[in-house]
C-alpha cells in the first residue's frame, strides 16, 4: 500500500496542480487572455492542431538534424582529440568559446550571415555539440589501462583497439552526452527561432508563440509551450530508454 | 644445482629500468625462467615485480640489459591483478578476445573457448556478463582468457591478492592442477610468503630500491595439498622465505 502511494504520488501531485489551476481560473473568473484554464488550453491545442503540428514538425526537424550533426561531429572530433593531444589543445579553446558564449547572443550574428533555416540549425547544433564532444573525449580517455595493454600484448591493430575497446568503453559517456545534447538542441532551436522571428514556410513552435503573443492569443501560447515541454520530455525519455537498452546488462548506471 | 643446467626459457640479463619520474624500479636484474617450473617473484610492494613481469611480457622495454628467449618467443599469457575484463562483453566474448584479435571468428574459436571455460570450471557461465560474477569467478575468466591461446608460459601478477582466503586457496589448487594439465611454465608474482611457498618450485625474493633478486629458494616438494601445508618442510621454507623478505624490507627481526 505504501509502495503504491509512493509510486502514484508524483502523478497525483501533478493532477492536483492542474486541478487547482482549473478551479482557480473558474472560481475567480480569470479571463483567458490573462490566464487560460487547462481545459481551454487543451481545447485550443485541438482546434489549432494543424497549425501547431506543422510548427512542431519544423522544430523537431531542426532539433534532430542538429543532434545528428552534433553526434557525428562530436564523436569524430573526440576521436581526433583522443588520438592526438595537440589537436585537442589547439581546437578545444574554440569549442569552449562557443560553449560559454550564450547562444542567444550568437544567434543574431548567424542570422546576418546565413539563411534563416541554416542559422537556426547552426544554433541548435552549436549547443548540442559541446556535451557530446566533451563526454565522448572523457569516455575515450577512460579506457582501462590494463585492457589497453592486453590488446597490445595480443598485437591488436589500432582499428581493432578502437572498434572493440575504445568505442564500447566510451558508449555510456557518449549516450550521456547525447541525452544532455538532445535537450539543448531543442533549446537552441527555440532560441534561434525566436531571434529569427520571421514567418514563411518554415515557422517553428517558437515563432508561433511570438505570433500568438502579438495577437494576445494566450491560450495558443500556452498550447505551444506545452508542446515544447512535451517534446523536451519525449527527447529525454527516448534517450534514457536507448541508453537503458544498450547498457542494461553491463553498465553500473543502468543496474 | 643440477636443475640450473637445463636451458632456460627466457633469461633477463642485467636488466635495468628507470621511469621518467626518476624511480629506479629495476637495477641490474638477472633472472632466468626454466621450462616447466613454477617460479614466484616474492617481494615487498613497489620493488619492481610487476615491472619485471611486464618486461618479460614485452609490454615494456628495459632501459638497459637484455631479455633473451630460448629459441623463439613462445605463446604467452598474462593475468593482471584485476580481472581486467571488458564489462560490455559476455564471458565467452572476453575469452574469445585473444583469438579474435588474431582474426579468428567465434565459430573458429568455439572449441578453444569451450576448452578454456572447462579448464577453469565455468562451462555454465559462458553467456554471463562479468558484472554477474563473483570476484573469484571473474579471476577465473581472466585466467581462461590467458589460457585460450595455449600459452607455453603464463605470467600472473598478484592475481589473487584481492580475493578472500578460501577463494584464494581454491584458486591456488586450481592453478597447480592447470599447470600439471597444460605442462606450462608459470611466473607468478605475489607478496604473500605462504602463497609463494605453497605454489612454487622456485622462489626469487626481490628487494626494494634498487629492485633485484637477493635470494633464491628452491621448494622441493612433489605434491601440493593440505598435507604439504601442514608439513615441516612447508613451515621451514616459509620461515626461510619470511626471513629473506624481512631482509628485503630492511626490517630484520621486526614485523
Ligand atoms: N609507469 C610508471 N611510472 C612511474 N613509476 C612507476 C611506474 N610503474 C611503476 N613505477 C614505480 O616503480 C616501482 C616498482 O613498481 P612495480 O614494478 O609496480 O612494483 P611491484 O609490482 O613490486 O609492487 C614503484 O616504486 C612504482 O611506484
Ligand atoms: Mg605490482
Q: Which three cell numbers stand for residue B232?
A: 615441516
Domain with residue A235: its CATH number is 1.10.3720.10
Query: Within a domain: residue B140?
Result: yes
- Print pLDDT tens along chain A (255 aa): 788 888 888 899 999 999 999 999 999 999 988 899 999 999 999 999 999 999 999 999 999 999 999 999 999 999 999 888 899 899 888 888 888 888 888 888 998 999 888 999 999 999 999 999 999 999 999 899 999 999 999 999 999 999 999 999 999 999 999 999 999 999 999 998 888 876 555 688 998 999 898 999 999 999 999 999 999 999 999 999 999 999 988 887 776
Q: Best interface-test mutation with A: which of B60, B61, B87, B131 has the largest number of A CBs within 10 A?
A: B87
The residue with cell 638477472 is B30
Residues B248 and B203 in one domain: yes
Cβ(A129)–Cβ(A97) under 8 Å? no
Residue B133 in grid coordinates: 560474477
B166 lies in the same domain as B50: yes
Residue A23, SS3 per DSSP: helix
Q: Is the CB of B207 under 6 A from ligand 1?
A: no
Asked if the structure places residue A25 within a domain, the reply is no
Q: Tell me, yes or no, whether A119 lies in a domain.
A: yes
Residue B67: inside a domain: no
Q: What residue numbers bound the domain in which B177 lies? A: 1-58+162-255
What's the structural domain count of chain B? 2
- Here the cell at position B234 is 612447508
Residues B86 and B208 in one domain: no
Asked if B63 and B16 count as a contact pair (C-beta separation under 8 A), the reply is yes
pLDDT band per the 50, 70, 90 thresholds, residue B214: confident
Strand order, beta sheet including B212-218? B76-79, B153-157, B185-190, B38-42, B202-207, B212-218
| CATH (domain of B51) | 3.40.50.300
Q: Are residues B169 and B190 in the same domain?
A: yes
Is B198 in the same domain as B126?
Answer: no
Distance of CA A30 to the CA centre of its chain: 34
Its sign, for the CA torsion A62, A235, A245, B130, is positive
For residues A128 and A181, is the Cβ–Cβ distance under 8 A?
yes
Q: Is residue A10 part of a domain?
A: no
Asked if B21 and B167 touch (Cβ cutoff 8 Å), the reply is no
Question: Looking at the structure, do residues B44 and B120 belong to the same domain, yes or no?
Answer: no
The residue nearest atom 17 of ligand 1, judged by CA position, is B48
B249 CA to centre of ligand 1 in angstroms: 16
Does residue B179 share a domain with residue B249? yes
CB A125 within 8 A of CB A66: yes
Domain with A84, as residue range(s), is 47-254
| ipTM computed for the complex | 0.88
Q: Structural domain tally of chain A?
A: 1
Predicted TM-score (pTM) of this structure: 0.86
Output the CA angle A22-A25-A29, nearest 5 degrees: 145
Chain B contact for A254 (CB, 8 A cutoff): no
Is A154's CB within 8 Å of B102's CB? yes
Q: Cβ–Cβ of B101/A154 closer than 8 Å? A: yes
- Please indicate whether residue B51, judged by its CB atom, sits closer than 6 Å to ligand 1: yes
Take atom 2 of ligand 1 and give the residue whose Cα is closest: B19
Amino acid at each position: 500500500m505504501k509502495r503504491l502511494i509512493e509510486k502514484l504520488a508524483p502523478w497525483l501531485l501533478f493532477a492536483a496542480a492542474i486541478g487547482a489551476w482549473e478551479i482557480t481560473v473558474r472560481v475567480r473568473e480569470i479571463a483567458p487572455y490573462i490566464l487560460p484554464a487547462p481545459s481551454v488550453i487543451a481545447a485550443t491545442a485541438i482546434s489549432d492542431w494543424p497549425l501547431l503540428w506543422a510548427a512542431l514538425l519544423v522544430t523537431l526537424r531542426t532539433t534532430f538534424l542538429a543532434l545528428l550533426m552534433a553526434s557525428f561531429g562530436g564523436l569524430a572530433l573526440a576521436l581526433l582529440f583522443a588520438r592526438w593531444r595537440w589537436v585537442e589543445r589547439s581546437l578545444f579553446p574554440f569549442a569552449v568559446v562557443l560553449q560559454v558564449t550564450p547562444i542567444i547572443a550568437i544567434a543574431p550574428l548567424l542570422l546576418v550571415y546565413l539563411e534563416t533555416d541554416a542559422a537556426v540549425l547552426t544554433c541548435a547544433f552549436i549547443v548540442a555539440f559541446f556535451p557530446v564532444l566533451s563526454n565522448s573525449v572523457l569516455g575515450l580517455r577512460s579506457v582501462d589501462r590494463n585492457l589497453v595493454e592486453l590488446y597490445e600484448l595480443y598485437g591488436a591493430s589500432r582499428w581493432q583497439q578502437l572498434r572493440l575497446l575504445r568505442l564500447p568503453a566510451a558508449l555510456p559517456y557518449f549516450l550521456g552526452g547525447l541525452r544532455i545534447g538532445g535537450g539543448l538542441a531543442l533549446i537552441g532551436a527555440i532560441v534561434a527561432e525566436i531571434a529569427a522571428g520571421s514567418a514563411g514556410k518554415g515557422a517553428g513552435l517558437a515563432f508561433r508563440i511570438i505570433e500568438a503573443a502579438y495577437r494576445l492569443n494566450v491560450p495558443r501560447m500556452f498550447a505551444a509551450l506545452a508542446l515544447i515541454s512535451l517534446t523536451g520530455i519525449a527527447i529525454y525519455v527516448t534517450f534514457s530508454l536507448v541508453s537503458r537498452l544498450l547498457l542494461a546488462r553491463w553498465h553500473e548506471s543502468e543496474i | 644445482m643440477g636443475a640450473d643446467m637445463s636451458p632456460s626459457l627466457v633469461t633477463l640479463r642485467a636488466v635495468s629500468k628507470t621511469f621518467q619520474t626518476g624511480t629506479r624500479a629495476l637495477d641490474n636484474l638477472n633472472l632466468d625462467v626454466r621450462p616447466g617450473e613454477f617460479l614466484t617473484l616474492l617481494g615487498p610492494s613497489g620493488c619492481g615485480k610487476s615491472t619485471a613481469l611486464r618486461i618479460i611480457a614485452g609490454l615494456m622495454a628495459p632501459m638497459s640489459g637484455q631479455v633473451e628467449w630460448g629459441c623463439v618467443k613462445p605463446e604467452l599469457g598474462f593475468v593482471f591483478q584485476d580481472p581486467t575484463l571488458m564489462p560490455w562483453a559476455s564471458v565467452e566474448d572476453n575469452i574469445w578476445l585473444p583469438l579474435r584479435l588474431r582474426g579468428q571468428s567465434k565459430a573458429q574459436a568455439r572449441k578453444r573457448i569451450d576448452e578454456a571455460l572447462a579448464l577453469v570450471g565455468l562451462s555454465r557461465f559462458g553467456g554471463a556478463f562479468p558484472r554477474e560474477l563473483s570476484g573469484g569467478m571473474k579471476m577465473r575468466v581472466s585466467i581462461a582468457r590467458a589460457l585460450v591461446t595455449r600459452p607455453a608460459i603464463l605470467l600472473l601478477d598478484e592475481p589473487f591478492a584481492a580475493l578472500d582466503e578460501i577463494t584464494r586457496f581454491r584458486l591456488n589448487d586450481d592453478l597447480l592442477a592447470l599447470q600439471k594439465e597444460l605442462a606450462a611454465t608459470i611466473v607468478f608474482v605475489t607478496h604473500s610468503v605462504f602463497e609463494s611457498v605453497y605454489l612454487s618450485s622456485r622462489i626469487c625474493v626481490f628487494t626494494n630500491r634498487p629492485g633485484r633478486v637477493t635470494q633464491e629458494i628452491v621448494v622441493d616438494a612433489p605434491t601440493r595439498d593440505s598435507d604439504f601445508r601442514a608439513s615441516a618442510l612447508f613451515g621451514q621454507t616459509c620461515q626461510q622465505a619470511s626471513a629473506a623478505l624481512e631482509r628485503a624490507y630492511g626490517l630484520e627481526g621486526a614485523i
